[in-house]
Structure 1
Amino acid sequence: MNSFNRIQSIYTDGACSGNPGPGGWGTVIYFEGGAVQELGGSERDTTNNRMEMQAAIAGLSYLADSGQRDPIILYTDSEYVKNGITKWIGGWKKKGWKTSTGKPVLNQELWEILDQFNSSQVEWRYVRGHSGDVGNERCDAIARAFSLGKIPELKTLDSHQQGANLDMIDAQSLSVATSDESKPNDSLDNVPREIRVANLRNSVDMLHMADEIAAKGYLITSSELADLMDINASAVTSRGDNWVWRNWVVSRVRREGNQILWQLERVD
């Protein structure tokens, strides 16, 4: 196996709109030669933990299919998944899939699949979500898109082998979009109406939530604000202390420990 085909690391993440509710998962596989393979999917009624597990299962399944025996690192921002597969699962199996309190282990069928694919070949590492880690942020974007009924464009190993510089293409596409906003978006026209309506409904729900946060005077963290706006947490803090988002003025109020707290004020 040459270095181009050798998997170096796997990033996984899950998302859920409602928890339980529509969910999505994203997996990004990095190869030593610089290639990238992205995977993702969705479920109509699920939980965030199940999507986190499904992303890890997809990554390890891909690893198994590759036939690679070299060690890899799997990064997850779910302590539930990492601790479950590295610390708790042995005790669960000994107790007949019962917890320490005698209750049935949740998501047993997924734990059994994950356990089947797991091995000493895999080094599990926790990465903090929304911390600017490129692999984690990309997985999050894929998972959240699927959870909202969107179909993200996924990078593939084949496209890299063909010499396509996808990062450059993405940058050029963004430049074209910002310089010529009047150009019709063919990709949106090709999305089924049902999905577009579902996306609009999610957007309206998000706007109602923002209104409630503003009316009640709730203070929210950067990561919560990022989830509300469907952007990366780093994009929140980079905008400064006061700025306008849609119908609200967003203001930085104070810091509590490692968290920055924000307030929304309706302006119309």
Structure 2
Amino acid sequence: MPANTIKSIYTDGACTGNPGPGGWAVVVYFADGSVQELGGYEAQTTNNRMEMQAAIAALELLSTVPTNEPITLYTDSEYLIKGITQWVKGWKKKGWKTAQGKPVLNQDLWEILDERNKNVQWQYVRGHAGNVGNERCDKIARAFATGKTPTLQQPKSDSVLVTEVSDYVPQSTITYEKTTSSHLVLDMTMMESTAPNSVVTSEEIPRETRVALLRSLVETLRIADEIAAKGYLITSSELADLMDVHASAVTSRGDEWRWRNWIVSRVRREGNQILWELERADQVNSDDHTGDPATE
């Protein structure tokens, strides 16, 4: 097996505020035992977009490494897995509309992922379950999301040649150096987060992007309100999808806590699933609820 053969890739994304500052990470494992790590940030984004951004960076890297066998890409994002392996086909047939006829969120990134989805096998891995690759990705992504600059590992040799990274990869967090070939080798020495022009302000984000993020937030809040009003019970994974966080971030908060405008309460367990109920906080006596407010 050649030294530059990729064995597996892990990706992850994180966001503080959701929408808010976000980070993404890629960890690549090679046959010779080398590890290569990529990462970056955006000043205003969502967790889902960071999960997708990480996958885009991984696919961009894969496109530069000739291989005859599919490479396994591991992610803990069910949104990403289901979107790229199932939903995207239907969205394209409907002109990038959902089954309800609404515009597909994050269409710009889905189109890039769909175009570059070649020679890769998508594999879901449970987050925060002790998987080394997933845990490392999570640590890198969260560091970037909180304004830190993590130290990223470099491969043992310059066996990985990379052409120009996609415009969707934040350039301010990665530096490059020229080689004697026509390619670029990733230099994983990261720039300080306080360096000039390394932080993008919300004003620099295109207005249409900011509006799309706001619409996404409003739709999330509308769904939560409907769930609360109709008394629906939802599982931990469904609640995590609604909040755009890892499922472990839901179950670790206890039996009752506040998220935005709602009190979230654990109702019961059915088999392997925990069922939760949402109630509008303004309709509940706040003195009866002392759980920590959610910050997602």
TM-score normalised per structure 2 = 0.55
Equivalent positions of 1:158-173 (< 5 A) are 160-161=156-157
Q: Counterpart in 2 of 1:67?
A: 66
Alpha-carbon contact 1:29-1:37 (below 8 Å) kept = yes
Q: Counterpart in 2 of 1:155?
A: 153
Q: Counterpart in 1 of 2:92?
A: 93
Alpha carbons of 1:227 and 1:16: their partners in 2 closer, same or farther (altered >3 Å)? farther
> Between the two proteins, what is the percent identity of the paired residues?
59
Alpha-carbon contact 1:3-1:31 (below 8 Å) kept = no
| Greater helix fraction, Structure 1 or Structure 2 | 1
SS at match of 2:64: helix
CA distance in 2, matches of 1:110, 1:92: 13
4+ residue runs of structure 1 moved beyond 6 angstroms?
225-228
Q: Counterpart in 2 of 1:51?
A: 50
SS at match of 1:41: strand
Amino acid at match of 2:249: E
- Aligned pair partner of 1:124 in 107, 122, 125: 122
Alpha carbons of 1:154 and 1:193: their partners in 2 closer, same or farther (altered >3 Å)? closer
CA distance in 2, matches of 1:108, 1:5: 33
Alpha-carbon contact 1:25-1:40 (below 8 Å) kept = yes
CA distance in 2, matches of 1:193, 1:13: 25
- Aligned pair partner of 2:136 in 135, 138, 141: 138
CA distance in 2, matches of 1:46, 1:192: 19
Q: Counterpart in 2 of 1:5?
A: 4
Equivalent positions of 1:30-45 (< 5 A) are 30-45=29-44
Alpha-carbon contact 1:7-1:29 (below 8 Å) kept = yes
CA shift for structure 1 position 70: 2.3
CA shift for structure 1 position 130: 0.4
CA shift for structure 1 position 4: 1.3
Amino acid at match of 2:127: G
RMSD: 2.9
Amino acid at match of 1:224: A
CA distance in 1, matches of 2:79, 2:114: 14
SS at match of 1:124: strand
Alpha-carbon contact 2:147-2:193 (below 8 Å) kept = no
The number of equivalent residue pairs is 179
5+ unaligned residues in a row in structure 2: which ranges?
159-191, 197-245, 254-267, 275-289
Equivalent positions of 1:1-268 (< 5 A) are 2-119=1-118, 121-157=119-155, 160-161=156-157, 192=194, 223-224=248-249
CA distance in 2, matches of 1:41, 1:9: 20
Alpha carbons of 1:93 and 1:264: their partners in 2 closer, same or farther (altered >3 Å)? closer
TM-score normalised per structure 1 = 0.61
